[in-house]
Amino acid sequence: MSIRKPGMLRKEAPHVVILGGGFAGLAAAKALRHSHVRITLIDRSNHHLFQPLLYQVASAALAAPAISTPIRKLLRHQQNARVWMASVRHIDVAAKRVMLDGTSIEYDYLIVATGMTHAYFGHDAWANHAPGLKTIGEALEVRGRMLRAFEAAELEKVPELRRAWTTFVIIGGGPTGVELAGAVAEIAGRTLARDFRSFDPRTARVVLIEAGPRVLPAFSEYLSRRARQQLEHLGIEVRTGSPVSDLGADFVQIGSERIETRTIIWAAGVRASALTADLQTETDRAGRIAVADDLSIPEPPELLIAGDLIAKEQNGKPLPGVAQLAIQSGTHAARNIRADLAQQPRLPFRYVDKGAMATIGRNMAVAQIGRMQFTGAIAWLMWLLVHILFLVEFRNRVGVVFEWAWAYLTWQRGSRVIVDVPADAGEVTPAAPGGLPTPTLDARLGYSSWGRGCVPKLR
């Protein structure tokens, strides 16, 4: 009797390729675990990231491994799934083939769940001065810039220049911007309050800029107003109806006002990657893909879209780019593939809104669940519970609970280490099998690099 090795299936099993290991891609892969298919999940990173808590890595509240888990580990018991770490260069729809770095892969079904990236509204040069927050590498860069600003202020003798170092500007009044602004205010006002001798961190200035009329525009007007009140209670300057006209390494321009600052964080717009152009189908202004009711594009039907890339309205409103949508759409795309294999009709996708939450600071948050609205400590406790429950691994949940409990009792943040990447850590060595560069390792610091965008190795 022969024993089937893990990952082996009969050759005739249809091949499902999933692009993206985020909430949508992972949900799709898990929903196909009992189906007679071969699954290849491709992501440029080796880990699944719990992005709703990424701002806590940027604000030194959590370490990167607390909100990330290797994708291979999450799918290690799923025999019909394999994981490739690679960058997708092109999708050949006609040939049903995905081109990667140095290799390619054919598919019978393709689920595109690559998510969104930052949009600087035609000012791409701003990215050099105002990093966004989508990856662990970016979170570590934001954290480093913030902590270095306080260190530079300690050495600065000129009051005006010290003021610039301790002025933090967050652009974008959505959940990420609001949560990050609140975290920076608490770091300055509590965590670092007694750590410096030449200046008082409590004098730091935090400015939150939103081009629209109010912060948290996806929430009700009442919750938006309460969120602004809580932000201002923390000493944050909230500027609404104020689009940024220009910015540089040491300033942000709002109309005729120039804010001198050395730390700018971008949390404003998003756009789809250029990869979506390969699909040659209708998109919206941000590059999101117009989908049919079953989440497919008009032609061909074996190509389905999941997650933030979906451009679709429900009840007269566009579907939101949140984790709930990603999980539900990824699962539904897999369900329709199963329907095809069973020669049954596909089902239309219907998004179920389970509510929205945003935390601002200790005992400060807003939550909207259906018609119910919560603010203050109740909303904050709800936010904590929901985010702990949705963390992928039990080990991560325990670690996050411990870190949050310690921070609540002591006002301290346990990840205030500035990470310096060696100048030569980004050198790319000759390609390994499959077209990927061979990772280099700095034995002194434990860095594993894949090209220029290297980040500390996650253990």
Instruction: Catalogue the active-site residues.
Output: 179
Maximum CA extent, the chain: 80
Distance (Å, rounded) from C-alpha 59 to C-alpha 360? 13
Distance (Å, rounded) from C-alpha 298 to C-alpha 290? 9
Contact call for residues 234 and 189 (beta carbons, < 8 A): yes
Which residues are within 8 A (CB) of 365 and not within 5 positions of it... i.e. 6 or more apart? 357, 358, 359, 374, 375, 376, 379, 380, 382, 383
In single-letter form, the type of residue at position 362 comes to R
Distance (Å, rounded) from C-alpha 219 to C-alpha 140? 29
DSSP string, 139-185: HHHHHHHHHHHHHHHHH--SHHHHHHHTEEEEE--SHHHHHHHHHHH
Distance (Å, rounded) from C-alpha 57 to C-alpha 22? 17
